[in-house]
Amino acid sequence: MSDVVCLGILVADAIGKPIDTFPEKARLQLFDRMELHTGGCALNAGIALAKLGTLTGVIGKVGDDGFGDFLIGEAKKHGLDTAGVVRDKKVSTSFTFIMVASDGERRFMHTLGANATFCAKDVNMGIVKKAKILHVAGTFLMPTFDGAQTASVLKAAQKAGVTTSLDTAYNDRLKDWLGTIRPCFPHLDYFLPSVEEAERISGQKRPEDMAKFFKDEGCRVVGIKLGREGCYVLGETAVCVPIYKVETVDSSGAGDCWIAGFLTGVLNGWDLEKSAKFGNAVAAHCVQAIGCTTGVKPLAEIEKFQKRAKLLV
């Protein structure tokens, strides 16, 4: 039985570095390094949680192909329960090519693959209802599941006494951001988007106004990831927490690792500020290594880091 179940997109990531420019048509451009990593919001958060010492399961869909084998194998290697992962012979596993610039910033090329056909019927509710926390990760990149189907799963989870959490993913093809996610808000204990996604959904410009908008829509706690500015969390009170001063190598997966740290705090009964600070510390480890979860350390090591590290203020 898993304490946290991460439900959502599972992706094979090919990471190229450094890529600062793009070749002209019919031209070859060299770069130094290519690696294959696990990716996708649900798998990133799940692996990070497992590395922190949390019993974690993952629910999603992959193709019956080599990338699917790779993702399931890596998840099991990190101790995740993969019983909730569906394999579909009719679709390919979702894939992202991540181009990492010299300064650590990223560009993405993505194919939805199996995530596009993932639906509520693929969700093993028996696994969900035994968890303490259900985290839905990758909303806006699961077109069949997004909206009403997601809301129905969240509602059923809450009815079973499971704490619910949701994170979004940026999709520039999506026209109605608010309309898609609005059915989910009344069934969310924690809503944890990036500032860019929060702005697109709410139409607000300031994190404080974004968070208030989502609270008014029914979310109990809102945590907005602000990138280099840290995070803003609004529950019964509000906290704004700066990031730790570290050298950024690759920011892939930083938001998912922040969520893993924050949910670790929720699971342990910490207050919002302590949970947010720990989320920032986990994200700080993430960005110091190539790959979405490569740099994440056990909980005790991250707590030691917090005692000696400096905040970027």
Buried b (16+ CB within 10 A) or exposed e, 104-139: bebeeebebbbbbbbeeebbbeebbeebbbbbbbbb
Nearest to 289 by CA among 106, 107, 104, 110: 104
Cα–Cα nearest to 242, from 270, 272, 276 = 276
Q: Read off the pLDDT of residues 230-283 as tens digits, 9 standing for 90 and up.
A: 999 999 999 999 999 999 887 888 999 999 999 999 999 999 999 999 999 999
Residue 175, classed as helix, strand or coil, is coil
User: What CA dihedral angle connects 138, 143, 147 and 153, to 10 degrees?
Assistant: -70
Residue 4 CB coordination number (10 Å):
26
User: Residue 141's closest CA among 106, 96, 182?
Assistant: 96
pLDDT for the residue 291: 81
| Tokens 């012979």, residue located | 89
Residue pair 192/164 in contact by the 8 Å Cβ criterion: no
Q: Report how far residue 16's alpha carbon sits from residue 126's, in angstroms, rounded to the nearest whole number.
A: 39
pLDDT of amino acid 103? 85
Q: What is the pLDDT, as a whole number, of residue 313?
A: 62
Low-confidence ranges of the chain (pLDDT < 70): 313
CATH topology of domain 8-20+33-308: UDP-N-acetylmuramoyl-L-alanine:D-glutamate ligase (3.40.1190)
Query: Is the bond into 143 cis (omega within 30 degrees of 0)?
Result: no
